[in-house]
Amino acid sequence: MQATQTPPGTVAKPVIPEDIARFETKRRSIRRSVRAFLDREPQRFQGSRVLDLPAGQGLTSGRLTELGARVDPFDLFPEAFRVQGLECRRADVMEGVPVEAGTYDYAFCQEGIEHFSDQFKALRELNRVLKVGGHLYLTTPNYSNLRAKVSYLLCESELSGRRAPLNERDDVWIPEKADGAIYFGHVFLTGVMRLRVQARLAGFELKRVLPTRWRTSALMLFPFLYPPIWWATRRSCRKALARHAHDPKARDLYDELHRLGTNRDVLLGSHLFLEFEKIVGTASGTQVPPAGSDAANCSA
């Protein structure tokens, strides 16, 4: 499916408004980390087919198109898309993306998974539209960093002292012209372990934790909390390994979980920026990959 009305074999040149492009220069914006990643690996996307969902205002769609990718932007609210030269179409990942299975080489899901009421279903749909061996890049506010852990402990708030605990007034809204669609703010924020296992069951393998800006508050907590976190994670994984000593793949799994749970980009980063690879299709039902075979290099 074509995202723009351009001749076959050509890619429209996008026009990115300056006020959107400025997000890539803001120190606190995840767009800055995504742009840095694209700048490091530009050849990866040249000539590839890419899904951008949710596309938002279109910044990443525009940048990928500049790199020579053929991008299909989709969003629950396509009217927010502002990049000229590309067409954003409406899609609700809960209902399915209107493309055939195995269409894309890459998929970007930025700041979206925390809004999805059924994250496993969303991941299965993203798996469906990717080719085997295709990669999913997922970003979300980091509920696994040290600041978030302490904030949740204190009052089950994303930012204790600055935001109220999760509630229907501050975190949910229903646009007037959205055909009943509900925007679930950060209602479904999730941590790296839950994302990993849901992606695993959806047919993905975690390949890398990509770097994002480290939070100052998390850095301040790091010397005090890292040692007990390292010890508790290690002890939990060793106890689990003892229960599954007969499984030759168990050690790989629990070693990976320990590395992920003590990864500095996980504990300090403002966002999670994860790269997954599709290794199993789910079009005909969930097929769980073998336990313990995730990539060992899931640290940045």
Answer yes or no: is 12 within a domain.
Answer: no
Predicted confidence at residue 4, as pLDDT, reads 42
Query: Which two three-digit tokens encode residue 170?
Result: 């501050």
Of residues 165 and 195, more confidence is placed in 195
With 60 as the cut, is the pLDDT of residue 288 above it? no
Answer yes or no: is 202 within a domain.
Answer: yes
Answer yes or no: is 126 within a domain.
Answer: yes
With 70 as the cut, is the pLDDT of residue 239 above it? yes
With 90 as the cut, is the pLDDT of residue 149 above it? yes
Query: How large is the average pLDDT for residues 148-176?
Result: 77
Measured at the alpha carbon of residue 169, what is the angle toward residues 167 and 173, in degrees to the nearest 5? 110
Predicted confidence at residue 164, as pLDDT, reads 79
Predicted confidence at residue 182, as pLDDT, reads 67
Answer yes or no: is 24 within a domain.
Answer: yes
**If you average pLDDT over every residue of the chain, what do you get?**
87
Tell me how many domains the chain contains. 1
Q: Report the range of poorest mean pLDDT among 83-92, 154-163, 259-268.
A: 154-163
Answer yes or no: is 289 within a domain.
Answer: no
With 60 as the cut, is the pLDDT of residue 10 above it? no
State pTM to two decimals.
Answer: 0.86
Strand ranges inside 183-298, DSSP E:
204-209, 271-278
Query: How large is the average pLDDT for residues 182-200?
Result: 87
Predicted confidence at residue 160, as pLDDT, reads 62
Torsion of CA 44, 48, 51, 52, to 10 degrees: 50
- Three-state DSSP class for residue 110: strand
Query: How large is the average pLDDT for residues 81-85?
Result: 94
Percent of the chain with pLDDT over 90: 68
Query: How large is the average pLDDT for residues 92-98?
Result: 94
pLDDT tens digits, 19-38: 888 888 888 899 999 999 99
Nearest to 95 by CA among 128, 49, 58: 128
Q: Are 153 and 221 in contact (CB under 8 A)?
A: no
Q: Which residues pair with 140 in a beta bridge?
A: 272
With 60 as the cut, is the pLDDT of residue 120 above it? yes
Which CATH number characterizes residue 46's domain?
3.40.50.150
Confidence of residue 169 (pLDDT cuts 50, 70, 90): confident
Answer yes or no: is 33 within a domain.
Answer: yes
Q: Which residue range forms the structural domain that includes residue 88?
A: 18-216+264-278
Confidence of residue 294 (pLDDT cuts 50, 70, 90): very low
Answer yes or no: is 63 within a domain.
Answer: yes
- Is the preceding peptide bond at 289 cis, omega within 30 degrees of 0? no
Predicted confidence at residue 152, as pLDDT, reads 87
Highest mean pLDDT pick, 82-96, 171-185, 277-291: 82-96
Answer yes or no: is 65 within a domain.
Answer: yes
With 60 as the cut, is the pLDDT of residue 9 above it? no
3-state helix, strand, coil in the chain (%, to 5): 40, 15, 45
Distance CA 155, CA 168 (A): 16
